Amino acid sequence: MASKRLEFLELAAREYEAAIDWYFERSPLAAQKFAAEVNRALDNIEQSPQRWPTHLLGTRRFFLKHLPFIVIYREQPSYIK
């Protein structure tokens, strides 16, 4: 089965950019690790969006390992947002 494309809410994109900036100010390596972990999460979600249990209003949550962040998403018929 082909994976669905991911789309980001503007607010989610701004939160991600702010987190990257925050980590980068402390350590470029930490920012790189954060970005890699988010990319890993997005790859997992894209490949198997129904793997994680449903949450509020049909959303699902992917908890990042070792980081205080959650990727919240909702699967639509042709995309994941």
Residue with tokens 């939160």: 15
The pLDDT profile of the chain, 81 residues, written as one tens digit per residue, is 557 889 989 999 999 999 999 999 999 999 999 999 999 999 999 999 999 999 999 999 999 998 999 999 999 988 898
Closest CA to 69 of 34, 40, 24: 34
pTM for this entry: 0.88
C-beta separation of 69 from 61 below 8 A: no
